[in-house]
Homo-oligomer: A and B are copies of this chain.
Amino acid sequence: MNVQKTLDALKARLYEIHDLHVAAGVLQWDQETDMPPKGAKARARQVATLRRLAHEKFTSPEIGEMLQILEDQGLPQWDPDSDEARLVRVTRYDYDRATKVPSDWVKAFAQLTSEARVVWREARARADFALFRPYLERIVVMVREYAHFFAPFDHIYDPLLDRFERKMKTAQVQALFERVREGQTRLLQHILSRPQVDNAVLHRHYDRQKQRDLIERMVAHIGFDLERGRIDFSTHPFTTGFSIDDVRFTIRIKENDLSEVLSGGLHEMGHALYHQGIDPKYEGLPLGRGASLGVHESQSRLWENLVGRSRAFWQFFFPWVQETFPENLRDVTPEAFYRALNRVEPSFIRVEADEVTYNLHIILRFELEIALLTEDLKVADLPEAWNAKMKAYLGVVPPDDAKGVLQDIHWSQGSFGYFPTYALGNLLSAQIWNAMPQELGDLNTFMSRGEFQPILEWLRERIYRHGNKFDPQELIQRATGQTIQAEPYLAYLEGKYGDIYG
């Protein structure tokens, strides 16, 4: 078979696999937003069927044979940066990851985590870690097995991290997180010694429908294309895309907390802008998604925080909010609103954390995951270790395990290696932000005039359009001139919160 024919045949298979995953995605989105409650049982089987068929098709020997032909005959003749070369490399990477794991293990792990999720929910509801403990113990054993399918490795955590952040190494993350932990705990100590910011204005009563209309008008103004996307409600906000022309995110609204829709909405909009910005030629192929969880999170956090919690942003948008809720905000200044949205306060729950404390929640989890996998920590001792780190990093100890070690779904799903990508996203958000002014000049001037097009265009050109073509660190290097750094984020926090808290 010649190279072009093989490439076409490979693409045809990849489109098919992609369509099966997309279908599963639509079924899951539907389940979160629209499905009648009793539909869950049949839906679980339907999604499992689609994922299984996609997995079978992707791990079939034919894919391996096609890749081999393209590596032998295509790569030597192609520009290494061409779409063809990169498609083959990324697909090979995914293929090796998928085929190194025996299907018996995959099946057993799916079974275990499916049961574990149910037990975890029960355990969290009862704040009873002992219920969940035996499941987590079995999950840790299986996750260690998983890592060993990828031996040899420098660190047992490397293959887990690599699932979500291609080619990132544990040692590199450890070095970054050392400096982040030191810098953010110091900043937090300083803030806690200063008078607290008042955010009562956010907790007045805000009408649901008006909140929804407001966030839709805001994201449309910023650049989210509602002809190629939509906004829905769900219990836990998320973003999903069924093509670059159909990207959806969900929001959650609290009538007594306006910050919920503003931060959650702008966060998910960031993920959605990334997806809408991918080059259409990659649609349906492994290049047509974000480069990694960390890079994706850099965009949600950039729009949520660097943009959406900035003074300049609210100089433009506060009048919109004030007009929508005059009864609540007639007497409020843009500056007071800005400060309220940036109140810092240590809390038990990761997803409620502010910019200064968020990474500390992540670093705690990262350190505990590593200790479990290296067998330096037993699952039985996990709650105690959790609480000790909460005390050390955040100065607070949860009253029970529901607000502590049981709060996140990730471990019940076996998603070890996922948490660090949240903090990597934070670091990248500031690093990328700092690279823009060299070309664009002062970003605050744009934002205070409500002009987001230059920022969005820069991000599309340097990040979004490339999709998954480059490895994450290569993409960041190309966009910012450096691999991932901790300093820009720490400097951003110190500058901003030094100003707010004095």
Q: Could you list which residues of chain A lie within 8 angstroms of chain B, going by C-beta atoms? A: 15-16, 19-20, 22-24, 26-27, 30, 34-39, 41-43, 45-46, 49-50, 53, 225-230, 232, 242-246, 248, 283-284
Report yes or no: A46 in contact with B19, Cβ–Cβ below 8 A. Answer: yes
Q: Out of B20, B23, B35, name the residue touching A246 (CB < 8 Å).
A: B35
Q: How far is the CB of A289 from chain B (nearest CB, A)?
A: 14
Supposing A26-B26, A49-B20 touch, asked if A39 and B245 sit within 8 A by C-beta, the answer is yes
Alpha-carbon separation in the docked complex, A53 to B34 (Å): 26
Which chain B positions have C-beta within 8 A of A230?
34-36
Shortest distance from the beta carbon of A292 to any chain B beta carbon, whole Å: 23
Q: A42-B243, A246-B42 are in contact. Are A229 and B284 (CB under 8 A)?
A: no
CA distance A473 to B36 in the complex (A): 33
> Separation in Å of the A45 CB from the closest CB of chain B?
7
Per a CB cutoff under 8 Å, which of B19, B38, B248 touches A228? Answer: B38
A46 engages B34 (CB within 8 Å):
no
Task: State the CA gap A489–B113 with chains docked (Å).
Answer: 57
Q: Tell me which residues across on chain B come within 8 A of A23, comparing CB atoms.
A: 23-24, 26-27, 46, 50
State the 7 A-B residue pairs at the shortest beta-carbon distance, nearest first: A39-B246, A42-B243, A19-B49, A23-B23, A38-B245, A19-B46, A38-B228
* Least CB separation from A46: chain B residue: B19
Known contacts A39-B245, A42-B244; 5 further A-B pairs (Cβ under 8 A): A15-B45, A20-B50, A34-B230, A36-B246, A38-B228
Nearest B residue to A30, CB-CB: B26
Q: A16 — which chain B residues lie within 8 A by C-beta? A: 49, 53
> Contact between A42 and B226 (Cβ–Cβ < 8 Å)?
no
Interchain CB contact under 8 A, B36 and A229: yes
Chain B residues whose CB sits within 8 angstroms of the CB of A39 once the complex forms: 228, 242-243, 245-246
A474, chain B: closest CB distance, angstroms = 28
* Residues of chain B within 8 A of A26, CB atoms compared: 23, 26-27, 30
Q: Which residues of B contact A37 (CB under 8 A)?
A: 227
A15 to B45, CA, bound (A): 9
Contacting pair B36 A227 (CB below 8 A): yes
CA distance A43 to B18 in the complex (A): 12
A36 touching B284 in the complex, CB below 8 Å, given contacts A23-B46, A53-B53: no
A50 to B18, CA, bound (A): 11
Chain B residues positioned under 8 Å from A245 (CB to CB): 36, 38-39, 41-42
CB distance from A17 to the nearest CB of B (A): 9
Could you list some 19 contacts between A and B, CB below 8 A?
A: A15-B49, A20-B50, A23-B27, A35-B230, A36-B226, A36-B228, A36-B230, A36-B245, A38-B225, A38-B227, A38-B245, A38-B246, A41-B243, A42-B242, A42-B284, A43-B242, A43-B243, A46-B243, A53-B53
Q: CB-CB < 8 A to A284: which residues of B? A: 42, 45
Task: List chain B residues, Cβ under 8 A from A45.
Answer: 15, 19, 284
Nearest chain B residue, comparing its CB with the CB of A230: B36
- Separation of A27 and B21 alpha carbons in the complex (Å): 12
Residues of B within 8 A of A46 (CB): 19, 22-23, 242-243
CB-CB under 8 A from A34, the residues of chain B are 34, 230, 232
Measured CB to CB, the nearest residue on chain B to A45 is B19
In angstroms, how far is the closest chain B Cβ from the Cβ of A52? 9
Task: Return A39 CB to nearest CB of chain B, in Å.
Answer: 3
CB distance from A382 to the nearest CB of B (A): 38
Give the complex CA separation of A51 and B242 in angstroms. Answer: 17
- Quick one: which of A24, A37, A45 has the most chain B CB within 10 A? A45
CB closest chain-B residue, reference A228: B38
Measured between alpha carbons, how far is A245 from B42 in the docked complex, in Å? 8
In the assembled complex, how far is the CB of residue A42 from the closest CB belonging to chain B, in whole angstroms? Answer: 3
